[in-house]
Amino acid sequence: MKLVGVIIVSLFFGSCFAQGNLQFNQVKLVTVQETIPAGKVWKITGILPSIGFRYTSSASTPPWEYAIMVNGNQRIIGHSSYGNGAFGSGFTAQNLSGDLWLPGGTTLAAGSNVGEISIIEFNIVP
């Protein structure tokens, strides 16, 4: 009975580590389309907007959406808006929260109103 328990525990822990561990590789700023290499994963940590949160002219009427391109598809990840009231004007900026992880083989690029995407690259170590 003891041997069966050891085998079950070994199989359980073996399967927990079967997919490998993550090892920090580098920090990157992505602008143009890049493909995540095989054996790596990217964690998106934030964006750097290419436009500010200010109202500059009638040609740039808010609200502004901030998008990234994942596998050629636009994904809205935040927006800002402009308010003009009796006591002045103001902006709000809202972003989706939570980590965004992308596997090897995925393409990523900056989209509308995004200058750079800040990512951390990890190696998958068996």
Domains defined along the chain, listed by start: 21-125 (2.60.120)
Tokens of 98: 């939570």
State the CB neighbour count (10 A cutoff) for residue 66.
25
Average pLDDT of 7-16? 42
Say what the alpha-carbon torsion angle 15, 20, 21, 26 is, to the nearest 10 degrees.
-160
Q: Per residue in 30-67, pLDDT tens?
A: 999 999 999 999 999 988 888 765 555 555 555 678 89
Using a 10 angstrom Cβ sphere, with 0-12 exposed, 13-18 middle and 19 or more buried, the burial of residue 110 is buried
Q: How far is CA 67 from CA 4, 11, 102, 109, in A?
A: 53, 43, 16, 9
Q: What is the pTM of this model?
A: 0.70
